[in-house]
Structure 1
Amino acid sequence: MADEGTRPIIVKRIKKVAGGHHGGAWKIAYADFVTAMMAFFLLMWLLGSTAKGSLSGIAEYFQTPLLVAMGGGSGSGDSSSVIQGGGKDLTRKDGQVKRGESVAPKKTYNIKAAQEAMEKIEAGQLKALKGRIEALIESNPTLNKYKNQLLLDITSEGLRIQIIDEQNRPMFASAKAELQPYTKDILREIGFSLNDVPNKISLSGHTDASVYSSGDKGYSNWELSSDRANASRKELIFGGMNESKVLRVVGLASAVLYDKDNPFNPINRRISIIVMNKKAEDAAANEGARSITVTNGDEEAVDPASAPQIAPASPAPTPAAVAKPPAPR
């Protein structure tokens, strides 16, 4: 019991500390996070807006910075430095080299020269076609018999092939649009050869100055020449010519005579097949339409009446006055 009285008494006291303020360290961390995010989005925006060539230059600099700085090149230096980009230009005339997308130089075209070149090529094609048809006439027994009635020449409209009448060998029945058998053979042989060029063709029928007893009031030389031209078109197609090549079929009666001195000469009765050049094609296709001319790249409207026209192969003479004209042939 005496020992219990001498035992020390230990008193434990717990000191309670109230929760205090944590300080502002979290604000610094948040600010660093926001700054990092802003820098990231700026980097992404720059990568998206920078040209591919510039990116290649930047990549090259970071791969070999010392080599680019010493040897010069894209992005290696400042345009205000004494030695431009580490290069050789000490006069500051050239500046830095940009590796972005270069602007292609503006091309200019000489329309007139191009048209002249196209016309020259086309003229060569028509001359070659003329040679092939002439060779066909010589080698083909059917055509060779009538070579005196086949006339070929180059006009302002293109290659003209004329099939003319002779006194004892007419192409058509008298005063009719009925083709003679040998005329059909001639047209069929020629028709297929016209497919050698892409040019359109124009067909025109012609008569002499002989008129019907009824004059021009009823069936006249105008209707006769038109019907003969259309009959010729059918035979050309039957011979193998592409139907889409025909651009114009007209009857000119005796308005364009072959023999102007003798309007009743049988040679005036003929069929003209013109393989048209591009200029004649455009004139025929746009006849009566609003014309457009190009001047220094600008379009300018031209009145069709004032637009230049292609003259016919032969001028229209004034028919001679005849007291009693013979019957038409």
Structure 2
Amino acid sequence: MSAARDAGRRIVIRRPRKTQEKHHGGAWKIALADLMTALMALFLVMWIISNASPQELQGLAEYFRTPLAVALSNGDRDSASTSVIPGGGTDPAHVSGERARVDLRSEKLPDDVRRTLMELRFRIESAIQGDPQLWELRDQVRFEFIPDGLRIQLLDTEKRSMFELGSDRLAEDLRHLIRAIAPLLNELPNAISITGHTDSLIYAAGDQGYSNWELSAGRANACRRELVAGGLDSEKMLRVIGMGDRLPIPGSRPGDAVNRRISLEILSDAAAARIRSGGRTEPLQALQER
């Protein structure tokens, strides 16, 4: 009976099949190679930057600050942005009246003049970077290219003032800065314009006595005297004016410290000729021939 029962059983033998795993394609190797390439490029860029001069760093920064639309059209970057950091945002170094007046003129700064003024900017920035005392003022010095030339703004802050309160007496830091800039300005034949600005805080007598008009003009003239004392040829000085508190920086309150500022403009020949001719657009030579 047992034999019959065993004969009715079905014996199943399972043998494992030998299968070969499919190849995964090595996609992770490609991702790893891309990562290593990117890291190598990053380290290479960091090495180059660490050995670059201040002028090369500035040129690199200007390249990456150029808006794409301007780069594609070979246009003027300054006319496409109103940002203190070119590329976006509001420019506290501009005032609405000045921007409107600039925009009304269709002229552009010639490329050769712009290159010359760019080199001047590099030299000034290098002087600031190389002096520990001036380095502390770096956030109070702003550069801007305008159709008339190069504008250098010297701004007050709440913590550091360029002048004694209510006075045209220069602080020692500003005196040191101007003495460092003067020889560099003297390297170019360009004429120079100085404009003084104040905040809206008024004197007790208002505009009837000594006011922000006199203060702004006095501070502009104090800078002129210090530039000449620092070695600037006085014949290069074309215009010294005071604007009082009438041109506050956009986005600021009239009483903010940033509105207390001095604007130095290194003028192009065309801008200087226009000022000498009283603002007329005719060539200076034609006016002189009359």
TM-score by shorter chain over 0.5: yes
**What residue identity is the alignment partner of 1:121?**
D
The C-alpha deviation readout for 1:27-85, integer Å capped at 9, x for no partner, is: xxxxxxxxxxxxxxxxxxxxxxxxxxxxxxxxxxxxxxxxxxxxxxxxxxxxxxxxxxx
Which residue, 150, 158, 161 being the options, matches 1:170? Answer: 161
In the alignment, structure 1 residue 146 sits paired with structure 2 residue 155: no
- Number of the residue aligned with 2:262: 271
C-alpha distance 223-124 of structure 1, shift in aligned 2 (>3 A) = same
Tell me the CA shift for residue 267 of structure 1: 0.5
Tell me the CA shift for residue 217 of structure 1: 1.1
Tell me the CA shift for residue 261 of structure 1: 3.5
Tell me the CA shift for residue 119 of structure 1: 2.6
Q: Distance in 1 between the 2:215 and 2:142 partners?
A: 22
C-alpha distance 291-219 of structure 1, shift in aligned 2 (>3 A) = same
Which residue, 177, 181, 187 being the options, matches 2:178? Answer: 187
The C-alpha deviation readout for 1:291-325, integer Å capped at 9, x for no partner, is: 6459xxxx699xxxxxxxxxxxxxxxxxxxxxxxx
Q: Distance in 1 between the 2:126 and 2:271 partners?
A: 26
C-alpha distance 226-183 of structure 1, shift in aligned 2 (>3 A) = same
In the alignment, structure 1 residue 126 sits paired with structure 2 residue 150: no
Secondary structure at the counterpart of residue 216 of structure 1: helix
Q: Distance in 2 between the 1:163 and 1:291 partners?
A: 30
Q: Is the 8 A contact 2:157 2:257 kept in 1?
A: yes
In the alignment, structure 1 residue 209 sits paired with structure 2 residue 200: yes
Secondary structure at the counterpart of residue 274 of structure 1: strand
C-alpha distance 300-200 of structure 1, shift in aligned 2 (>3 A) = closer
Percent identity reads: 36
C-alpha distance 187-300 of structure 1, shift in aligned 2 (>3 A) = closer
Q: Is the 8 A contact 1:165 1:269 kept in 2?
A: yes
Tell me the CA shift for residue 279 of structure 1: 2.0
Tell me the CA shift for residue 155 of structure 1: 1.4
**What residue identity is the alignment partner of 1:155?**
I
Q: Is the 8 A contact 2:109 2:148 kept in 1?
A: no
C-alpha distance 117-262 of structure 1, shift in aligned 2 (>3 A) = closer
The C-alpha deviation readout for 1:65-113, integer Å capped at 9, x for no partner, is: xxxxxxxxxxxxxxxxxxxxxxxxxxxxxxxxxxxxxxxxxxxxxxxxx
Tell me the CA shift for residue 282 of structure 1: 1.1
C-alpha distance 118-227 of structure 1, shift in aligned 2 (>3 A) = closer
Give the total of aligned pairs: 181
Secondary structure at the counterpart of residue 240 of structure 2: strand
**What residue identity is the alignment partner of 1:189?**
A
The C-alpha deviation readout for 1:185-212, integer Å capped at 9, x for no partner, is: 1111111110121100000100011111
Q: Distance in 2 between the 1:234 and 1:120 partners?
A: 32
In the alignment, structure 1 residue 238 sits paired with structure 2 residue 205: no
Q: Aligned Cα RMSD in Å?
A: 2.4
Q: Distance in 2 between the 1:261 and 1:165 partners?
A: 13
- Number of the residue aligned with 1:287: 278
In the alignment, structure 1 residue 196 sits paired with structure 2 residue 206: no
Q: Distance in 2 between the 1:259 and 1:232 partners?
A: 24
Which residue, 121, 135, 141 being the options, matches 2:126? Answer: 135
Secondary structure at the counterpart of residue 186 of structure 2: helix
- Number of the residue aligned with 2:44: none
**What residue identity is the alignment partner of 1:178?**
R
**What residue identity is the alignment partner of 1:258?**
I
Q: Distance in 2 between the 1:131 and 1:265 partners?
A: 29
Q: Is the 8 A contact 1:165 1:267 kept in 2?
A: yes
- Number of the residue aligned with 2:52: none
TM-score (normalizing by structure 1): 0.51
Q: Runs (4+) of structure 1 moved beyond 3 Å?
A: 290-294
- Number of the residue aligned with 1:251: 242
**What residue identity is the alignment partner of 1:249?**
V
Q: Distance in 2 between the 1:250 and 1:270 partners?
A: 13
In structure 2, the gaps of 5 or more residues are 1-106
The C-alpha deviation readout for 1:222-267, integer Å capped at 9, x for no partner, is: 0000000000111111111111110000000112212443111101
Q: Is the 8 A contact 1:208 1:257 kept in 2?
A: yes
The C-alpha deviation readout for 1:118-171, integer Å capped at 9, x for no partner, is: 932112111111111112211122311211111111112211111111112111
